[in-house]
Amino acid sequence: DQQVKQNSPSLSVQEGRISILNCDYTNSMFDYFLWYKKYPAEGPTFLISISSIKDKNEDGRFTVFLNKSAKHLSLHIVPSQPGDSAVYFCAASASGGSQGNLIFGKGTKLSVKP
Amino acid sequence: DVKVTQSSRYLVKRTGEKVFLECVQDMDHENMFWYRQDPGLGLRLIYFSYDVKMKEKGDIPEGYSVSREKKERFSLILESASTNQTSMYLCASSVLLGRGFQPYEQYFGPGTRLTVT
pLDDT in tens, B22-79: 999 998 888 999 999 998 898 999 999 988 988 999 999 999 999 999 999 999 999 9
Residues 50-89 of A with CB under 8 A from B: 51, 89
- Share of residues in chain B with pLDDT > 70 (%): 92
Task: Provide mean pLDDT across the span B86-109.
Answer: 82
Closest B-chain CA to A1: B59
Cα distances (Å, whole numbers) of residue A26 to A39, A92, B11 = 27, 10, 37
Most A CBs within 10 Å: which of B25, B43, B93, B112, as the mutation test of the A interface?
Answer: B43
Q: How many CB pairs under 8 A join A and B?
A: 70
Average of pLDDT values for A105-112? Answer: 96
In this predicted structure, the answer to whether residue B83 has a pLDDT above a threshold of 70 is yes
Lowest mean pLDDT among A59-73, B8-22, B90-104: B90-104
Question: How do A72-77 and A86-93 pair as beta strands?
Answer: unpaired
Amino acid at B82: S
Best residue in A3, A88, A106, A108 for a mutation probing chain B (most B CBs within 10 Å): A106
A contacts of B107 (beta carbons < 8 Å): 46
- B110/chain A closest Cα distance in angstroms: 4
B31, A100 contact by CB (below 8 A): yes
Contact list, B25 vs chain A (CB under 8 Å): none
Give mean pLDDT, residues B81-89: 97
pLDDT category of residue A98 using cuts at 50, 70 and 90: low
In chain B, which among 60-79 make CB contacts under 8 A with chain A?
A: none
* Measured distance CA(B98)–CA(B104) in Å, rounded: 10
Closest chain A residue by Cα to residue B9:
A41
Q: Please tell me the least confidently modeled range out of A7-21, A98-112, B8-22, B25-39.
A: A98-112
Residues B84-95 as b or e (16 or more Cβ within 10 Å = b): ebbbbbbbbbbb
Q: What is the pLDDT of residues A46-84, one digit of tens each?
A: 999 999 999 999 999 999 999 999 999 999 999 999 999
Whether chain A has a CB inside 8 Å of the CB on B109: the answer is yes
Question: Does residue B89 carry a pLDDT above 60?
Answer: yes
